[in-house]
Amino acid sequence: MKYIYVVYCLFLLISCQNSKQEYQDIEEIPMASTFDPLEAKKLMETHCYLCHSPTADENQGRIAPPMVAIKARYIDREGYNKAEFIENVKAFVAHPTEEKALMYGAVKKHGLMPKQAFPEGSIEKIAAFMYDYQIEEPEWFKAHWEGHGNENWTQSGKKLEEVDEVKTYADIGLDYALGTKKVLGKNLMEAIQQKGTMEALTFCNHQAIPLTDSMATQFNANIKRVSDKNRNPNNKAYAEELYYIAQFKKELAEKKESKPIALEKGDKIQFYYPIETNTMCLQCHGKQIKPEVQRQILKLYPKDLAIGYDENEVRGIWSITFTKKTNE
């Protein structure tokens, strides 16, 4: 009984450390919200399997170690975290040298990996995928790796299937909304910090819709920010949008967390999610806007309704339409 208790405590300790580690990793990878594991897997199969085949024989006809061997060497032996793993894979692939190589045996057996050009950004995605997910592992590998003094080895990472199933239309819509928010927010922040509120106003006036549209093209979706108290007449909310704005306001007042809404409409999904204010927004949407800013707003938007907000209020919603995904 005592023994089980000790094991249980150890388990708690370990699992606690693991979850902390995972949290740090998420923080370090900025594009996590739009990361598509299936795309990354495909990139790996297209560009790496040519040499790092998971099905080639252990000894005959193999021209490079399987990808899982790189994972085991870098993550289990070297102890790299996600950021370190991505960085080291990137550095090696960009310019393979014997000094950088950790897999001395493989270099000796197969020769150094040749320097090749891969699509921009692909190595990062492949490495992130390798770190987060279980990848194809030849049957012989576990015994081989354990034979090199690595006892009780199992591959780290999530199973891809499990993750696929939980990705709902609401999750996909949220990815689009947050991905767009990030781009708008970053640009707005920079404009305010570098040039002040007046210039940032020009930025919003000129760039808010084009930036949103460019993200829409990237995601192959129709993305709008609409409001019941809109500034730009093109951002006026209509019936169903107004209904959900009211619902999100009610939830916020009741301190309930608002969940994204995904409605199925034929072969399309209609998605809604609230946009809330923080202190930064009040410079242009608040109750005490500087007179020169206020004058400029009214010059650009004579019918402006988007003022008088406090922080932490529903300023509007994301209204996003996209086509249902079919299983190809």
Backbone angles phi, psi at 37, to 5 degrees: -60, -35
Query: How far is it, in rounded angstroms, from Cα 3 to Cα 59?
Result: 43
The amino acid at residue 236 is K
Residues 6+ apart with CB under 8 A from 242: 228
Per CB under 6 A, does 92 bind ligand HEC?
Answer: yes
Per CB under 6 A, does 296 bind ligand HEC?
Answer: no
Token reading at 102: 């950790």
- Mark 25-44 with x for binding to ligand HEC (rule: CB under 6 A) and - for no binding: --------------------
C-beta atoms surrounding 48 within 10 Å:
21
- Segment contacting ligand HEC (CB under 6 A): 24-32, 131-139, 170-178, 274-282? 274-282
Q: Are the CB atoms for 309 and 315 separated by under 8 Å?
A: yes
Per CB under 6 A, does 75 bind ligand HEC?
Answer: no
Shortest distance, position 200 Cβ to ligand HEC, whole Å: 3
Burial of 314 by CB count in 10 Å (0-12 exposed, 13-18 middle, 19+ buried)?
buried
Per CB under 6 A, does 72 bind ligand HEC?
Answer: no
- Mark 192-211 with x for binding to ligand HEC (rule: CB under 6 A) and - for no binding: -----x--xx--xx--xx--
Q: Are the CB atoms for 67 and 135 separated by under 8 Å?
A: yes
Burial of 214 by CB count in 10 Å (0-12 exposed, 13-18 middle, 19+ buried)?
middle
Q: Are the CB atoms for 191 and 65 separated by under 8 Å?
A: no
- Segment contacting ligand HEC (CB under 6 A): 5-13, 76-84, 91-99, 256-264? 91-99
- Radius of gyration of the chain, Cα coordinates, nearest whole angstrom: 25
Shortest distance, position 294 Cβ to ligand HEC, whole Å: 11
Per CB under 6 A, does 96 bind ligand HEC?
Answer: yes
Query: How far is it, in rounded angstroms, from Cα 318 to Cα 216?
Result: 12
Shortest distance, position 270 Cβ to ligand HEC, whole Å: 18
- Which of residues 270 and 296 has its CB atom nearest to ligand HEC in the complex? 296
Interacting residue with ligand HEC among 68, 106, 215, 223 (CB under 6 A)? 106
Please give the residue ranges that form the binding site for ligand HEC (CB under 6 A).
47-48, 50-52, 64-65, 70, 89, 92-93, 96, 101-103, 106-107, 110-114, 118, 123, 126, 197, 200-201, 204-205, 208-209, 225, 227, 230-232, 235, 275, 277-278, 280-281, 283-285, 306, 315-316
